[in-house]
Amino acid sequence: MIDNIDLSLVDWSRAQFALTAIYHWLFVPLTLGLSFILAIMETIYVKTGNAEWKRITRFWMTLFGINFAIGIATGIILEFEFGTNWSNYSWFVGDIFGAPLAVEGILAFFLESTFVAVMFFGWNKVNKKFHLVSTWLVAIGANLSALWILVANAWMQHPVGMIFNPDTVRNEMVSFWAVLFNQVAVDKFLHTISSSFLLASMFVLGISAWYLIRKREEQLAKRSILIAGVFGLLSSLMVAYTGDQSARTVSKVQPVKFASMEALYEGKSNAGLMAFGLLKDSEKKIGDKTEWEFAFKIQIPGLLSVLTGGDRESYVQGIKDHINGNDKLGLISTPDKIKRGRYAMEILTSYKNASLNNDTAQISATKSIFKDKDFKDNYFRYFGYASINKPEDIIPDVPGSFYSFHMMVVLGFLLIIIFSVALYLLFKGTLSDNKWFLWVALLSIPLPYVASELGWLLTEIGRQPWIIQDMMTVNKAVSQIGTGTVITTFILFAVLFTGLLISEVSIMVKQINTGPKH
């Protein structure tokens, strides 16, 4: 473990990973969602034999291909950063975290990459049904890749299925299925892919609206809007449902994050659901951290208690319940967790010293402590708290968590309305006449991108200071490399990724202006 921590190194390493992840996620969701839209369109072509559907599919496939290539490039860099910038993290939990990433590379990416060439170049080389199967397999492979990556991230939010080995000072997997079917992983996968389907649908809807505004390719545009509207509306409803399920799970396994999402400092029964609000500094403090109060809020009385506990009298835990403890709820205070974590660290240090000195009696005594259930349940589970200096350090960025969550929710409901109106006007036969809505659809293309990035900001900001919930802080996870090296690579990646994004947008705009082949 690291004793002397260069906080500037931590900050720059976090900034570099955030930069890479944010750029990577600009490309991934379009790939995940558009792949299934392509498969649906091609299925209609194969079923009907209508050549117009083939032309539509090939047009959107061209845009998919541009995005697909750049998404892979940024994703590879992201995975390498675990070894270069976060080697202590990789050492501590690499046996667990690496397993789903290995499965992703061996199974899902192999499936995806094997059939992508057939999908792009096999139109006139294989029969229609085999080409259709290839398109579906690319879509399934792309989303399976996302599954394994999300499983790895979910484990960081809620570590399960492992045991600590004091000889190697590593966590080792004991149940792959516990990791795979971790409730956080299930919620995260369903919410992420449904939000990606929504994003891709909005992309298709917006581009199609542009064609209608320009009075070009009206048949392509309306048929594309039909698919995107239905797929997008169903996906947006799924996003709302899975988002609710995710929040319920977070309230159980990451209650401090959940309290931060609602800016809830004092736990209460009959807690209202915050529709939205504006935060302001308070004169109150928790340790050296200022609390936040509401300058303005719109709240639905009692609904937060109902959603999390099933009735209005259910108690919703606040941030202070976890700082000060709550005997009625069986919550121990953060200072107590810190003491227990430091005791666990002392036992581990004692064991390592005994091993170095070949003190067999001490080795046997301390190893038996590690096997003791009471030690595991009441002390070692707080191992990560040994790295916490002050109790209030476990409080994440409350404004960041609150605004990320509520802006994401507002955008989600706005997109439900957009898809509903698109389908209503399409079936009514007046879509082309409502230029105002076509412009709304076109200008709304960035909205699901913003909502998706906000979701990831909430996921990571709300988890701080932990890189692995309750087990390892971010400060302990960094590699011992020069800060200057990280700054240099940060600048290089910023320039590279910005260039890639500009190139992708330029190529896509050019392709959209050119339109589909006749």
149-168: pLDDT as tens digits: 888 889 999 999 888 888 88
Q: Which of 108-122, 221-235, 431-445 has the lowest mean pLDDT?
A: 108-122
Q: What angle do CA 191, 192, 195 make, to 5 degrees?
A: 85
> Do residues 354 and 456 both lie within one domain?
no
> Do residues 371 and 459 both lie within one domain?
no
**Gap between the Cα atoms of 510 and 514, Å rounded:** 6
Number of helices (H), then strands (E), belonging to the chain: the values are 19, 8
| Whole-number pLDDT of residue 2 | 42
Q: What is the pTM of this model?
A: 0.91
**104 pLDDT higher than 80:** no
| Whole-number pLDDT of residue 457 | 92
> Do residues 187 and 153 both lie within one domain?
yes
In a domain, 423, yes or no: yes
Q: How confident is the model at residue 197 (pLDDT cuts 50, 70, 90)?
A: very high
> Do residues 124 and 156 both lie within one domain?
yes
Residue 251: Cβ-neighbour burial (10 angstroms; 0-12, 13-18, 19+): buried
Of 329, 352, 381, which closes a domain?
Answer: 329
| Whole-number pLDDT of residue 237 | 96
> Do residues 232 and 357 both lie within one domain?
no
Q: Which of 165-169, 238-242, 410-414, 489-493 has the lowest mean pLDDT?
A: 165-169
**75 pLDDT higher than 80:** no
How many domains, in total, are found in the chain? 3
Residues 137-148, mean pLDDT to the nearest whole number: 87
> Do residues 245 and 161 both lie within one domain?
yes
Q: What is the DSSP string of 437-477?
A: HHHHHHHTTHHHHHHHHHHHHHHHHTTTTEEETTTEEHHHH
505 Ramachandran zone, left/alpha/beta (phi>0; psi -120 to 50)? alpha
Residues 437-455, mean pLDDT to the nearest whole number: 95
303-333: pLDDT as tens digits: 888 888 878 888 889 999 999 988 888 889 9
In a domain, 1, yes or no: no
Q: How confident is the model at residue 93 (pLDDT cuts 50, 70, 90)?
A: confident
> Do residues 151 and 73 both lie within one domain?
yes
> Do residues 324 and 310 both lie within one domain?
yes
- Give the range of the structural domain holding residue 338, as residue numbers without chain letter: 334-392
In a domain, 2, yes or no: no
| Whole-number pLDDT of residue 108 | 64
210-231: pLDDT as tens digits: 999 999 888 999 999 999 999 9
> Do residues 348 and 401 both lie within one domain?
no
Q: How confident is the model at residue 1 (pLDDT cuts 50, 70, 90)?
A: very low
342-375: pLDDT as tens digits: 998 998 888 888 888 888 888 888 888 888 888 8
Of 329, 348, 372, which closes a domain?
Answer: 329
User: Cis bond leading into 335, ω under 30°?
Assistant: no
Residues 59-80, mean pLDDT to the nearest whole number: 80
Contact predicate 477/1, CB 8 Å: no
Q: Which of 203 and 119 is assigned the larger pLDDT?
A: 203
In a domain, 272, yes or no: yes
Q: How confident is the model at residue 447 (pLDDT cuts 50, 70, 90)?
A: very high
Q: How confident is the model at residue 285 (pLDDT cuts 50, 70, 90)?
A: confident
> Do residues 129 and 212 both lie within one domain?
yes
User: Could you tell me the two tokens for 499?
Assistant: 């260039």
How does the average pLDDT of the chain come out, rounded?
Answer: 88
In a domain, 55, yes or no: yes
> Do residues 45 and 83 both lie within one domain?
yes
Of 355, 374, 392, which closes a domain?
Answer: 392
| Whole-number pLDDT of residue 332 | 92
**21 pLDDT higher than 50:** yes
Q: How confident is the model at residue 4 (pLDDT cuts 50, 70, 90)?
A: low
In a domain, 273, yes or no: yes
> Do residues 121 and 157 both lie within one domain?
yes
In 3D, which of 231, 222, 163, 166 has the Cα closest to residue 197? 231
User: Could you tell me the two tokens for 403?
Assistant: 């605004």
| Whole-number pLDDT of residue 125 | 85
